[in-house]
Structure 1
Amino acid sequence: MQTAKESRSDTVERKKQKRPIVDCDIHHFTGLNLIKPYMPREYRELVETYGTAMPGSMHFNGGVGGRMVDSFPPEGGPAGSSLAYMQKHLLDPYNIKYGILTGESLGVQATINFDYAAAYCSAVNEYTYEHWLANDKRLKGSVLIPKQDPTSAAKEIDRIGSRPEFVQVLVHNGAMLPYGNRYYYPIYEACVRHNLPLTIHVGGEGAGMNSAATGAGHVTHYIESRAARPQVMMAHLASFIFEGVFERFPTLKVVLQEAGVFWIVPYLWRLDQDWKSLRVQTPWVRKKPSEYFRDHVRVTTQPIEATPNREVFDQMMEHIYAKDTMMFCSDYPHWDFDSPQLALPRLDDELADRVFYQNAAELYGFPSIGSAREEESE
């Protein structure tokens, strides 16, 4: 993959590329001072006096505060805080037809104060709606929920899930329990009611009330934390399948975001093999795990693993069913941002259309890529 400096050196001046793109992970800034006006008075007063009272980060990050050096608006302010600069820096030059905002507030899902978490999530959602989604129709929102309290989470999904500007429900990878546990069923019931996929974004592993980042406990360095993310996602994926979530909620879709990609291939092989030997223990699992994955799960590209050669890359793409399951995301404006022009080797046109646009369009209900191209040619 490219470095932050290489990825953005001439983007603003680059001619707009032709292929329309759905970018499934754009982090707009949702800091406390911005969302505070949307919080109830009692919490506004508390945070003004004591701060956010959120679990802090345990590790150093990369880039400049975890962001690309050139992603900070020239007028000042945090990276991802200026819609105008994001339009100039990302949306326009890369022909982002739709961009899904994921914010910077997932840490709230690790706090033990459930009522505060619910108020905080509602404030983030309202701020996002008013200041971002209402001002650029290309942008779509994620419903941030207090997932540690599924009843409150379902209420928040019901409150705004019918707004067409919101296209998914967003949770951290870090959690108290694997996501297939019945504890979370109220969330999935609400997702199904509003036809919203559930996206699991990396982060929060080992923070606050969440379980440790690895089965062996906590880790020391950020690079260890990044390396451990797939194992947490593995636990969630197996839990969804073997707890029977996809049988109970046959229309539910789940997105695995920013935990890598190709580790899934041998993991599905293992799940299929173990299921054949142990299926008597979970008779409600009627299909091979790999079939549930293909039908119900989508995975985003960032950060995709660099393979030893193109032959291995093509094999991995085939075995992860990329034509059906893979969706592009840039992770803008984080330090490990992936440019649509540099993130993947050259793909044939059919596969590129699926990965960069059509798979996401089908999941989120956007116009087909043919319609998007026709609209641009008018």
Structure 2
Amino acid sequence: MNDTIASPKQSVRSTSSVGISDSDIHPAPKDYRYGLHPYLSKRWRDHLDQFGELGFEALAGGYLYDDYIPYACRRDAWPAGGPPGSDLALMRKQHLDPNNVVFGVLEPMVGMGNGGRNLDLSNALATALNDWQIAEFVEPEDRLRASVVIVPDDAVAVVAEIEKRALDARFVQVQIFTGTTEPLGHRRFRPILEAAAHHGFPIGMHVGGRLGVRTASGWPSFYCEQHLSNTFAAQTQIMSLILDGVFDQLPSLKVIIIECGCAWSIGLGHRLDKLWQRMGSEVASLKHPPSHYLRQNFYFSTQPVEEPDNPEDLNYLFEQIGWDRLLYASDYPHWDFDDPRYAFKARISEEHKALLFRENAKKVYRIL
């Protein structure tokens, strides 16, 4: 499979020259234990009822959020009879309608991460999540679009799942979490990236995964450590994809870094270029400096944005990253939700607002 985009999928209609595109909305099933059962075969329903899920690190306990932010969600987003993100009517009332969201990308964070030890189960859950997104969110709400949830450790199954969804315009990206078992530049993942590029899907690389909550130096003592360490996983993935030559092979492939911040990418590009200048013979096949690929093949969601003490300095940061590389993200219904009316304290020009809130998303997701 090459990097040539296949026959175009059905046209994805959004959008006008007004309104907001949101690259990060988190849906949830009405019941975490049984919400996906209607989309699973009897074999896997029975399996989950008897055994549950076995994570990749069986003894790794979660260290995610304190009790004051249960499920990492804002308290006013809890509907009657389900967790935050499970009630489409409430999502409309709290976010889609008042903020004039005309295009929103679903980023499921439930049911599985990057797969456990049982890949057959994880693949079944991924397919169920994909069917569930369409049936319960996208079909009844034409402003929403789905992500193709996959299990990267089974490239054969992933390619089949991408092929299955490729001509369905309701899917707009392939979703992979930052916490993979190995960095995504490794060759065993190349068929997945080839399939995504072939069908014009960007990779939506969202913070998270099933590899526990270790930092690069070991287990953290505090939530603050774990939360910030997610950024480092994104940096690792960027370095791997660039240095392993993915974008020389697949120049049309786009990667969206979601919920990991973005200001750090400036220094990362500078430092990679310096190392490449001194040790470039190690990666002699690279055709360009690393910052070239960072600038051409990566996008960044804005939540959580690194707000400088002087709000106007945000314009300087975004200029270095590239105004055409940034996608507004709300992270609804999480506790650190960014309301588009108040997310950026800097005075941003109307031209740049149009890119940030709408035009960049239309481009990378190929919205007409």
With structure 1 as the length reference, what TM-score do the two structures score?
A: 0.87
Give the counterpart of 1:130 among 135, 144, 147. Answer: 135
Cα displacement string for residues 220-242 of structure 1 (whole angstroms, at most 9, x for unaligned residues):
32211111112111111011111
Equivalences for 1:142-153 in 2 at 5 Å? Answer: 142-153=147-158
Is this contact kept in 2: 1:22–1:96, CA < 8 A?
A: yes
Corresponding residue for 2:4?
none
Equivalent in the alignment of 2:72:
66
* Mapped partners of 2:115, 2:128: distance in 1: 17
CA contact (8 A) 1:302 1:328 kept: yes
Match of 2:327 in 1: 327
Give the superposed CA RMSD: 1.7
Residue aligned with 2:269, SS: helix
| Cα distance in 1 between the residues matched to 2:86 and 2:305 | 26
C-alpha separation in 2, matches of 1:183 and 1:220? 34
Deviation at 1:204, TM superposition (A): 2.1
The worse-fitting range, judged by mean Cα deviation, of 167-176 and 29-38 is 29-38
1:64 is displaced (CA, Å) by: 3.0
Q: Which residue matches 1:200?
A: 205
- Corresponding residue number in structure 1 for 2:24: 25
**Partner of residue 84, structure 1:** 89
The alignment partner of 1:203 has SS state of coil
Determine the C-alpha separation between the residues in 2 that align with 1:156 and 1:169: 10
CA contact (8 A) 2:53 2:116 kept: no
User: Which residue pairs with 2:257 in the alignment?
Assistant: 256
| Long gaps (5+) in structure 2 | 1-16
Deviation per CA, 1:297-351, whole angstroms, max 9, x where unpaired? Answer: 0000000112121343222111111x11000001000111111111112311011
Name the structure 1 match of 2:274: 273
Q: Which runs of 5+ in 1 are unaligned?
A: 1-17, 368-378
Which letter does structure 1 place at the counterpart of 2:63?
Answer: H
1:305 aligns with 2:306: yes
1:273 CA drift (Å):
1.3
Mapping 1:333-372, distance limit 5 Å: 333-345=333-345, 346-367=347-368
Provide closer, same or farther for how the CA distance between residues 57 and 23 of structure 1 changes in structure 2, counting only shifts above 3 A.
farther
Which of structure 1's runs of 4+ aligned residues deviate more than 6 A?
Answer: none
The alignment status of 1:93 with 2:105, answered yes or no, reads: no
CA separation in 2, counterparts of 1:294 and 1:78?
38
Partner of 1:189: 194
The CA deviation at 1:99 is 0.5
Q: Is the 8 A contact 2:303 2:331 kept in 1?
A: yes
Query: In structure 1, what is the Cα distance between the partners aligned to 2:111 and 2:365?
Result: 21
d(CA) in 2 for partners of 1:218, 1:206 = 12
Distance 1:341 1:281, change over 3 A: same
How far 1:291 sits from its partner (Å)? Answer: 1.4
Amino acid in the other structure paired with 2:283:
T
Is the aligned partner of 1:240 residue 2:241?
Answer: yes
Q: 1:358 aligns to what SS in structure 2? A: helix
Which residue identity is paired with 1:243? D
- Work out whether residues 71 and 80 of structure 1, in 8 Å CA contact, stay in contact via their aligned partners in 2: yes
- How much identity, in percent, do the aligned residues show? 31
Q: 1:104 to 1:57 in 2, by over 3 A?
A: farther
- Partner AA of 1:206 in structure 2: L
Using the size of structure 2 for normalisation, the TM-score is 0.89
* Aligned residue pair count: 344
| Structure 1 contact 109–172 (Cα < 8 Å) conserved | yes
CA distance in 2, matches of 1:339, 1:113: 39
Tell me which residue corresponds to 1:4: none
Distance (whole Å) between structure 2 residues aligned to residue 363 and residue 334 of structure 1 = 24
